[in-house]
Amino acid sequence: MWEIIVQVFPYAIAFTIPLLITALGGLFSERSGVVNIGLEGLMVVGLFSSAITIVNLEKFMPGTAVWVGLLVAAIAGALFSLLHAFACINLHANQVISGTAINMIAGAITVYLARNITGSGNIHIVHGMVRRTIPVLSDIPVIGKLLFTQTYATTWLVLAILVLSWFVLYKTAFGLRLRACGEHPQAADSAGVNVYRIRYIAVMISGAFAGLGGAIILVTYSGEFSGTVAGLGFLAIAALIFGQWKPWGVLGATFFFGFASTIANVSQAVPLFARIPGILLKIFPYVITLIVLVMFSKSSQAPRAAGEPYDKGKR
Amino acid sequence: MLKKGMGLIIVLVVLAVAVSGCFTKGGTNLKVGMVTDAGTIDDKSFNQGTWEGIKRAGEELKVETKYLKPGGTTEADYMKEIGNLYDAGYKFIVCPGFKFETAIYQAQDKYKDAKFVLIDGSPHAGDGKAVVKENTVSIFFAEHESGFMAGIATALQLKEGEVGFIGGMEIPPVQRFNWGFQQGIQYANANLGTNISLKAENVIYQGSFDNVAAGQQLAAQMYDKGVKAIFCAAGGVGVGAINEAKSRAKAGQQVWVIGVDVDQYSEGIYDGNKSVILTSAMKKIAQAAFDMVQAEKDGKFPGGQTLTFDASNNGVGIPDENPNLSEEVQTKTAEVFEKLQSGEIKVSDQRGNLIK
């Protein structure tokens, strides 16, 4: 049993990380009062822009191309999310509809661009992120094997972003203002906070993080752009709710999803799990989510103003 | 003057139209259409293979070509696009994939003056009873023979060790790849002096064709258990497996993937020209599509028939070039292929007592 967990762990983490960073992006957006269900589309944008960058650069600089790709993905995601920000913040559009539009545009426009630029709707990269075992730390009993063997550099990047996000949200004036905008924008405004500006920044952060999430999928486990991230963006939203809009909660929720679905995926190859019907393992994380959501529905800690356009006239 | 000038222009225009008309009619007015299955036209699999064959026919046989991508994968979606092609004058329609079975069943009656080519399926009313009308050809591939050849090549190259299989959905074409592969390994062990093992726990149908993450994770499990090569007949799931193999190969571990449907060598490249794709179990879909267009042009359209592309007509097999196979292995594999073509070796398309 222990051996299986050790074996599965690096892959569970690899699957968790893109989810975590995307959900974290959603957290910024929703805590500022803008619901962002366009995360799926923003991930696709990140996936595409990193793929096209890496494929063009890797001939000259295989090592750094991956990092440039990640950076480009974050920028592209942030820029693309401006569409959502403009519609939701300036135009007071319904945020769910705007997010849905983002998802639909992203899937179509990226494949269109890919086909026009490379001649094919599928883009393959040759060099992805290299897995490394960290020398000294991996010798620590128990956690060394689990956390420090076969890790991707992106994993540590995302964990650093997580800590930083927690710090920004809870320990800085900016974080307090951002949260205030999601709870009671009128009050924040009367205290001199520029609600529009804060929400713009928050939506752009969510776009950048989701773009990064898409790019991480590319450089770690898929190696290919094909116009979709297979619903991971929606899973990230589920994790955000499951994690009750809190950074550490989101970490726990995404890790739960990552670990449970990895176990479900590999169960067929592991004799110990093969006895359990695969379908049970596959639905397990979703059933748990449903139960948890029902249990928490009374005490849900959703930002109060999430989903409501802020209108200065209405106080 | 003006009138004279106009007259001249009119004459020129008429001439130009007439001449260009001649050029388009220079070949034939056969218009070949295609409706794509789920996925994009460049899916490196069925759609792409079929379209490449049609495009080649377009260039070499001077026919007009066009493909349409349906909005979904239901019978109604397919019928709509078939109707659109028909209305636009495309009366030779190629459809790749078993999902078209019921749509073609209807279309062959509805559009009696059109011709249909159904690849990897046979038209039926939803009850599985095949009805191939005079204006339809249904094409199947002997996946088991393709898998068999991949099994032989793999066994000969590795000589000893463990191999595995990852399939997509548990549907007949994928199952036949698997069963053929197992028979190839068995044949090589019995007759060619290899010692390859394939454990039951390493024969897996993932259950989808698009779960990339699962492909990586399953492949990782198998490689960790000491499997040296995995045969992936699993679409996007295979993409994940190839990516895992690439990471490991880059780290110096020797692992292989055996590709499927088309020559996947280029997808497995991880450094320079080195690829993790040992060989690929191919179905020559492009060839089949091209052959059908050519048959139609020559007036020999095999309407009403169900054709099987197998080793004997070079419809399946491994690629001509396999940079990862040694000369000796390629020669021996070619010998086995000849025996398969001549019928000396028989590969069963049934499970029998094989694994899964």
Tell whether B294 is covered by a domain: yes
Looking at the structure, tell me whether residues B170 and B248 fall in a common domain: yes
Q: Where are the domains of chain A?
A: 2-241
B243 reaches A (C-beta below 8 A): yes
Best B243, B266, B271 member to test A by mutation, with max A CBs in 10 Å, is B243
Answer whether residue B352 is part of any domain.
Answer: no
Of the candidates A120, A122, A270, the beta carbon closest to that of B221 is on A270
| Residue B72 belongs to some domain of the structure | yes
Q: Does B233 share its domain with B167?
A: yes
Which residues in A lie closer than 8 A to residue B167 (C-beta atoms)?
none
Q: Could you tell me if B193 and B239 lie in one domain?
A: yes
What pLDDT does residue A277 have?
A: 84
Total CB pairs under 8 A between chain A and B: 92
Q: How far is the alpha carbon of B81 from chain A, nearest alpha carbon, in Å?
A: 20
**Alpha carbon distance B201, B199 (integer Å):** 5
B173 or B14: whose pLDDT is higher? B173
Same domain as B87, residue B182: no
DSSP string computed for chain A: -HHHHHHHHHHHHHHHHHHHHHHHHHHHHHHTT---TTHHHHHHHHHHHHHHHHHHHTTT-HHHHHHHHHHHHHHHHHHHHHHHHIIIIIS---HHHHHHHHHHHHHHHHHHHHHHHHSSS-EE-S--PPPB--TTGGGSTTHHHHHSSSB-HHHHHHHHHHHHHHHHHHHSHHHHHHHHHHH-HHHHHHTT--HHHHHHHHHHHHHHHHHHHHHHHIIIII-EE-S--TTHHHHHHHHHHHTTT-HHHHHHHHHHHHHHHHHHHHGGG-HHHHTS-HHHHHHHHHHHHHHHHHHHSTT----TTTTPPP-TT--
Question: Is B40's CB within 8 Å of A121's CB?
Answer: yes
CB contact, 8 Å: A11 with chain B?
A: yes
**Pick from B225, B247, B266: which is nearest to A128 by CB?**
B247
Q: Do B179 and B266 fall within a single domain?
A: yes
pLDDT at B13: 56
Cross-chain CB nearest to A111 (options B40, B201, B244)? B40
Alpha-carbon gap, residue A34 to A102, rounded angstroms: 14
Chain B residues close to A270, C-beta within 8 Å: 201, 221
Whether B149 and B272 map to the same domain: the answer is yes
B202 contact A CB<8A: yes
Please give, rounded to a whole number of angstroms, the shortest distance from the CA of A121 to a CA of chain B: 6
The predicted-structure confidence for B258-317, as pLDDT tens digits, reads as follows 999 989 999 999 988 999 999 999 999 999 999 999 999 999 999 999 999 999 989 999
Does residue B16 have a pLDDT over 60? Answer: no
Same domain (yes/no): B22, B80: yes
Q: Show residues of chain B in contact with A228, CB under 8 Å.
A: 210
Q: What is the pLDDT of residues A177-220, one digit of tens each?
A: 999 999 999 999 999 999 999 999 999 999 999 999 999 999 99
Which residue type, as a one-letter code, is found at position B244?
A: E
Closest Cβ opposite residue A120 in set B42, B211, B213: B42
pLDDT range class, residue A289, cuts 50, 70, 90: confident
Mean pLDDT, rounded, of chain B = 89
Structure confidence at residue B171 as a pLDDT band (50, 70, 90)? confident
* pLDDT tens, position by position, A213-233: 999 999 999 889 988 898 899
Mean pLDDT of B151-177: 94
Give yes or no for residue A136 having a pLDDT over 90: no
Alpha-carbon span A49 to A55, nearest angstrom: 10
B235 and B120 in a common domain: no
Q: What pLDDT, on the 0 to 100 scale, is given for residue B11? A: 57
Work out the angle at residue B286's Cα, subtended by the Cα atoms of residues B285 and B288, and round it to the nearest 5 degrees.
65
Do B209 and B338 belong to one domain? yes
Closest by Cα among A186, A228, A177 to A32: A177
Tokens of A186: 């009128």
Same domain for B295 and B188, yes or no, is no
Does A15 score more than 90 pLDDT?
Answer: yes
pLDDT exceeds 60 at position B24:
no
What is the domain count for chain B? 2
In this predicted structure, what is the pLDDT of residue A253? 94
What is the pLDDT, as a whole number, of residue B23?
46
- For B320, the 3-state DSSP assignment is coil
Q: What is the mean pLDDT of residues B214-224?
A: 94
Query: Which two tokens mark A138?
Result: 């991996």
Give the model's pLDDT for residue B25.
Answer: 41
Does B240 map to a domain? Answer: yes
The Cα-based distances of B9 to A137, B12, B14 in angstroms read 85, 5, 9
Nearest-by-Cβ selection for B201 from A14, A128, A271 = A271
Chain A, residues 243-302, CB within 8 A of chain B, namely 261-262, 265-266, 268-271, 274, 278
Residue B355 lies in a domain: no
Indicate whether B330 and B191 sit together in one domain: yes
Q: Answer yes or no: is B306 within a domain.
A: yes
Whether B242 sits inside 8 A of A230 (CB atoms) is no
Instruction: Label residue A254 by pLDDT band (50, 70, 90).
Output: very high
A112 touches chain B (CB under 8 A): no
Amino acid in the structure at residue B222: M
pLDDT category of residue B57 using cuts at 50, 70 and 90: very high
Q: Above 90 in pLDDT, residue B137? A: yes
Residue B2 domain flag:
no
Is the residue at B9 inside a domain?
no
**Of the given ranges (A29-33, A65-69, B46-50), which has the lowest mean pLDDT?**
B46-50
Question: Is 70 exceeded by the pLDDT of residue B160?
Answer: yes
The pLDDT of residue B7: 60
Provide the pLDDT confidence category of residue B42 given band limits of 50, 70 and 90: confident
Is A308 near chain B, with CB under 8 Å?
A: no
Which of A12-26, A262-276, B22-36, B75-89 has the lowest average pLDDT? Answer: B22-36
Q: Is some CB atom of chain B closer than 8 A to the CB atom of A115?
A: yes
Of B42, B202, B213, which is closest to A122 when you measure between CB atoms?
B42
Nearest chain B alpha carbon to A263:
B217
Among A44, A41, A33, smallest CA distance to A95 is for A33
Q: What is the domain extent for residue B305?
A: 17-141+286-311
Q: CB-based contact (8 Å) between A133 and chain B? A: no
- Confidence check: pLDDT of B2 > 80: no
| Mean pLDDT to the nearest integer, B340-347 | 94
Mutating which of A8, A124, A270 best tests the B interface, going by the most B Cβ atoms within 10 A? A124
pLDDT-based confidence at residue B72 (cuts at 50, 70, 90): confident
Q: B97 and B231: one domain?
A: no
Is B139's pLDDT higher than 70? yes
Give me the mean pLDDT over the B212-224 stretch: 94
Contact B201 A274 (CB under 8 A): yes
